[in-house]
Amino acid sequence: MIAVSFVRVMLHLLQGLLIAAVIFPWINSASRDRRIKQWSAALLSILHIKVALQVQAGAESEPGALIVANHVSWLDIFVINSQNPCRFVAKADIRSWPALGWLSAQAGTIFIARGKQREVRRVYEGLVTSIEAGERIAFFPEGTTAAQGGVLPFHSNLFEAAIEAKVPVQPYAIRYIDEQGKLHRSADFIGDMTFVDSMLLIMKTRRMTAQLIMLPTIDTAGTHRRELAQQTRAAIAEALGYTANIQENPEQTA
């Protein structure tokens, strides 16, 4: 029942708020990552979402790599964190979301106001410093969520951080499927849909699987950020079988 799921989610959010407020200030980053991983996995379990991690041939997790993924839903952050906790770059309006916005901030999310060049530059410089300090950083270069079945053009600005920090890009491909292996549209978080609308729709769903595909890293040495963005997007689209829907838009990849 939706009512039961809603109560369980609210109690889990309360638990997360208490952990972040009372425990996070006193533990090291490794312990914090472990708790984020456990909490994220538990949230997905409450929502009846199973995570299936697939590792492509030649792919392996590199601690210093900049993690990049396509963006379907607010669930994406928790799917990745349930496997490999990261600091995410996210839109500034997420900070205003009830409970989850504050929790995301406590988990180290880096908020960015899209379209403000000075803001992009500030975040970019912070990313370089964080990557060089050994932190795992992840972002969604589409800049917004996209309906499953295609991948939007990738904004290339933040790819420069990997080039300057001299680390590879680690692509992840994400999709949500039903029991028949077809794309599960309940996961799509697009258009005028609110966070509450999305949450309620997901609560009505049973047996959704989040497929997280780890791709081989992409070397950044001697490459340009636009080339890197296009190469990463093509790799993710191919892994998802979306290559027929790839269309370049130079205005969005600058």
- DSSP codes, 72-98: --THHHHHHHTTS--EEEEEGGGGGST
Q: Would you say residue 233 has pLDDT above 90?
A: yes
pLDDT at 251: 43
Between 86 and 106, the higher pLDDT residue:
86
Q: Are 97 and 173 in contact (CB under 8 A)?
A: no
Report the mean per-residue pLDDT for the chain: 84
The reported pTM is 0.88
Q: Are 188 and 72 in contact (CB under 8 A)?
A: yes
Q: Would you say residue 101 has pLDDT above 50?
A: yes
Side-chain half-sphere CA neighbours of 222 within 13 A: 0
**DSSP assignment letter at 15:** H
Residues 225-240 have a mean pLDDT of: 94
Tens digits of residue pLDDT in 118-130: 666 777 777 888 8
Nearest to 172 by CA among 253, 60, 74, 64: 60
Tens digits of residue pLDDT in 11-63: 888 888 788 778 888 888 888 889 999 999 999 999 999 999 999 988 788 77
